[in-house]
Amino acid sequence: MKILIVGPAWPYRGGIADFDERIAREYIKKGDEVEIFTFTLQYPSFLFPGKTQYSPDPRPEDLDIKRKVNSINPFNWIKVGRELKKKNADLLIIKFWLPLMAPCFGMIARIVKGNGKTKVVSILDNIIPHEHRPGDKILSKYFVSSIDAFIAMSKSVYDDLKSLNDKKPCLMSPHPIYDNFGTAVSREEAIGSLGLDPSAKYMLFFGFIRDYKGLDILLKAVADERIKNSDIKLIVAGEFYNNSEKYFEMEKQLGLEGKIIWRTDFIADEQVKNYFCASDIIVQPYKTATQSGVTQIAYHFEKPMLVTNVGGLPEIVPNGKVGYSVEPEAKVIADAISDFYCNGRYAEFVENIKEEKKKYSWDRMLENVDKAMEQVK
């Protein structure tokens, strides 16, 4: 099968670029021909508050990545669409996460489908974003109308799609495990690599730090006397996407100096394993979400998780089985943390994770993409 992927990939960084590259490798492993068409311009700099959009890693030699797409130039969309249309591919995959990308992706998809052969399947992170902006629904509807079939990675995203268009084929398929960050290392090796105190216990908040991810709630939970007066520490590993000062101010106000370990540069791929393997539990205190790639990294490294009951997170983290799914409230999160450490739940959760993670294979994702294609009339 000849497959095209349009979306983030090297030299861009982040979870969506990781996904596009990983699914490309899975198709290549099956013997398919894959080309990735990524951006010359992804976000204008004024729309990207992080330090850099670019990966420090070298170009992946095993992938055919072409930088062609300008997300804000309509003339470019037409040019790229015509180029991809001529390729007469069997499948075009577009990962969708932000309505800002809808005009670009929608125009390209419409043009490519004009060849009468290529089927367009979109894998949805979100269809209605975490942080709402005026016009989001209008843009998302435009995008949806250009796509043949969809894969929703959580029930909440599936429901959002059906609220916009209940006619298009859509299958649910959870986010596969991110197994591209290497194999697990021992706790001792990870702690040594990160320069941490081996006598402490560690929780991990991982990824871009954005308001909707609820780090403020987690800091209040850590200030609970049961945690504050223990040897439990919180590692915050990821780059600030919004104002950082409010979090540092909270740390001071709550008396958490020495309890929070700030590692707020972008975490290079080769360091990811150390942060997960040094930690006892991965905490995602999100205020809103659909699903999260962080849970799939935790599954890969077989680490218990504490998530909140928002979006599709409880679907991925069954409460009391592989971790906790609780309300996004500081007291409730503190209760779960206390239960985890005081009642020694780590080994029990890890055993369950080994079984539960089998649901999240890349084979299953590809099978569902095939099924979605078959439903296209």
Catalogue the E-assigned strands of 193-291.
Answer: 201-206, 232-237, 260-263, 281-284
Domain total in the chain:
2
- Same domain as 289, residue 161: no
Cα–Cα distance measured from residue 253 to residue 257, given in angstroms and rounded to the nearest whole number: 10
Partner residues linked to 278 by β-bridges: none
Least confident range from 43-47, 242-246, 272-276: namely: 43-47
Q: Is 23 helix (H, G, I), strand (E, B) or coil?
A: helix
Q: 110-122: string of b/e by CB count within 10 Å (b at 16+)?
A: bbbbeeeebbbbb
Q: Three-state SS across 263-287?
A: ECCCCCHHHHHHHHHHCCEEEECCC
Peptide bond into 176 cis (omega under 30): no
Give the pLDDT score at 115: 97
Average pLDDT over residues 257-270: 92
Q: How many CB atoms lie within 10 A of CB 364?
A: 14
Give the pLDDT score at 49: 61
Residue 180 within any structural domain of the chain: no
Q: Please report which residue ranges of 127-240 form alpha helices under DSSP H.
A: 136-145, 155-164, 187-194, 215-222, 225-228
Give the pLDDT score at 128: 83
Domain that holds residue 344: 187-359
pTM here is: 0.87
Q: What are the pLDDT digits (tens) for 82-107?
A: 999 999 999 999 999 999 999 999 99
**224, 227, 230, 236 alpha-carbon torsion, rounded to 10°:** -120
- Same domain as 165, residue 16: yes
pLDDT tops 90 at residue 290: no
Tokens of 376: 């296209």
Q: What are the pLDDT digits (tens) for 105-134?
A: 999 999 999 999 999 999 999 998 766 778
Tokens of 332: 């409730």
pLDDT tops 90 at residue 265: no
- Same domain as 102, residue 30: yes
* Domain containing residue 47: CATH number: 3.40.50.2000
201-206 and 232-237 as β-strands: parallel, antiparallel, unpaired?
Answer: parallel
- Angle between helix axes 15-29 and 293-300 (nearest 10 degrees) is 60
- Same domain as 74, residue 133: yes
* First-to-final CA distance of the chain: 19
Give the pLDDT score at 175: 93
Q: What are the pLDDT digits (tens) for 7-61?
A: 999 999 888 999 999 999 999 999 999 999 999 999 877 666 666 788 888 999 9
Give the pLDDT score at 57: 85
- Same domain as 348, residue 365: no
Give the pLDDT score at 132: 73
Give the pLDDT score at 223: 98
- Same domain as 306, residue 169: no
- Same domain as 238, residue 127: no
pLDDT tops 70 at residue 222: yes
Give the chain's mean pLDDT. 94
Q: What are the pLDDT digits (tens) for 163-179?
A: 999 999 999 999 999 99
Least confident range from 155-164, 255-264, 316-325: namely: 155-164
170-172 and 201-206 as β-strands: parallel, antiparallel, unpaired?
Answer: unpaired
Q: How many CB atoms lie within 10 A of CB 257?
A: 8
Average pLDDT over residues 271-291: 94
